[in-house]
Structure 1
Amino acid sequence: MGTAKQTKSLSVGGGFVDFTVKSGKSSALVYFIVINVLAFLYSAFSLAISLLKRANSKNLELPFSIADLLVTVLLFSANSAAAGLSVIAEDGNSNLLWAQICDTMNTFCAQMNASIVLSMFASLAYFLLVLLAILGFYRRSF
C-alpha cells in the first residue's frame, strides 16, 4: 500500500492534465499503512522477547495477550477504513459528487485491494492467536 501510486493524463477542456493518485494523500490509507507497520514491529518485538525469555514466559503471557488483542482491533479498524475508501474509489458517491476512480486508475486500485486482502489475512491470524491464548488461559484455570 505504501508504494501504490498511479499517474494518468486525462483530457480536460481540450487539453491534457496529469492526475496522480497515491496512498499518501488519503488519511484512511495512511492510517492503514501506519497500523500495519506498527503491527509488524510489535510482532517482531514480541517474538524476540518471547524467544529470549522462554523460561520466564509465564509473566509475559497476559501482557502479550492484551497487546495482541489491541493489535487485532487496530488491524481490523485500519482494514475497515481502507475498505471503505476502496468502495468509494470503485463506485464513487453520487450524493457527494465523488467520481469513481478505479475505472481510470486501475493499477492503483488493484494494489490497494491486494493490500487490504493481505492485511485481512494477517488480522485473522492475529485473531486466531488471541483466541488460542484465551483458550490456553481457560484450560489452565480449571
Structure 2
Amino acid sequence: MSTTIELGPESSSVAKGKAPLIGAVPVAKGKVGWKKGIAIVDFLLRLGAIGSALAATATMGTSDEILPFFTQFFQFEASYDDLPTFQFFVIAMAIVSGYLVLSLPFSIVGIVRPNVVGPRLLLLILDTVALALANSSAAAAAAIVYLAHNGNSNTNWLAICQQFGDFCQQASGAVVGSFIAVVIFMVLIVLSAFALRRH
C-alpha cells in the first residue's frame, strides 16, 4: 500500500514533468487560427464575387435601348439578346453567380473546421472551372463592347455607341463587373492553395 501511495505523487510529478510538452499546443492553434483567417477572407471574397457577378448579369440582361423616331413602326433597338456573345455572357455569369451562392456553405465549413481538406479541395477545383467560364464570357463580351465603341473600318463595322449610348454604358459596366469577379476568383484560388499547403 505504501508503494501505491508513492506512485500517486510520482505520476503527478511525471505529469508535471510533461507540462512543457503542452507548449506545442499553441503552435497548432496558431496554424488553425491562420487557416481560419484564410477561410474568413475566402467567405468575404465570395460575397464580393456574388455581388459583382450578379450585378454584371443583371446589368447586361436589362441592357436595352430604343432610338426615338417619327413613328413607332420605324424604330431601331439594341438589346443584349441581339448578340449571341451577350447571351452567352448572361448565361455564363448567371451560372457563376449560382455556383458562388452554392459554395458559401462549403466556405463556412472551412471557417468552422479549418483543418478539413475535402471542402477546400472541392472549392479549389470548382473555382478553377468557374474562373474559366467567367473569364471566357467576360473576354468575349469585352471584344464586342470594343467593337461597339470603336467599330472596325477594315470590315465596315460601324461604331454604334454614338447612337446607343445607354446600351453601351450598361454593357461596358457589365463587362467591368465580370472582370472584378474574375480577379476575385484568382485570389480565391491562391488562398485555397495556401490553405491546402502542408506545414
* Shared fold (TM-score, shorter chain, > 0.5): yes
Residue ranges of structure 2 left out of the alignment (5+ in a row): 1-59
From the CA coordinates, give the structure whose radius of gyration is larger: 2
After TM superposition, the runs of 4+ consecutive aligned structure 1 residues lying more than 6 A away are none
1:108-128 Cα shifts (integer Å, max 9, x gaps): 000000111111111111110
Query: How far did 1:52 drift?
Result: 6.2
CA distance in 2, matches of 1:50, 1:130: 13
What is the rounded CA distance, in whole Å, between the counterparts of 1:57 and 1:25 in structure 2? 47
Does 2:164 correspond to 1:105?
Answer: yes
CA shift, 1:10, in A, is 5.6
Residue identity matched to 1:94: S
Give me the whole-angstrom Cα distance separating, in 2, the residues matched to 1:80 and 1:8. Answer: 28
1:64 & 1:121 partners in 2: Cα distance?
19
**Pair 1:126 & 2:185 matched:** yes
CA RMSD in angstroms, aligned pairs only = 2.1
2:78 pairs, out of 3, 9, 21, with 21
The 5-angstrom pairing of residues 1-142 of structure 1 reads 1-9=60-68, 17-51=74-108, 54-55=112-113, 57-138=116-197, 140=198, 142=199
Query: Take 2:81 and 2:105, find their aligned partners in 1: how far apart are those partners?
Result: 31
How many residues align structurally? 136
Relative to the length of structure 2, the TM-score reads 0.63
1:124 maps to a residue whose letter is: V
Structure 1 CA distance for aligned equivalents of residues 117 and 170 of structure 2: 41
Identical columns (%): 26
| Structure 2 residue matching 1:17: 3-state secondary structure | coil
- Unpaired segments of 5 or more residues in structure 1? none
> Residues 98, 32 of structure 1: CA spacing in aligned structure 2 closer, same or farther, 3 A cutoff?
same
CA distance in structure 2 between the partners assigned to 1:57 and 1:104 by the alignment:
55
Q: Hey, what's the Cα distance between the residues in 2 that align with 1:58 and 1:136?
A: 9
TM-superposed deviation, 1:63: 1.8
1:94 aligns to what SS in structure 2? coil
SS of equivalent to 2:95: helix
Change (3 A) 1:2 1:57: farther
What is the TM-score of this pair, normalised by structure 1? 0.86
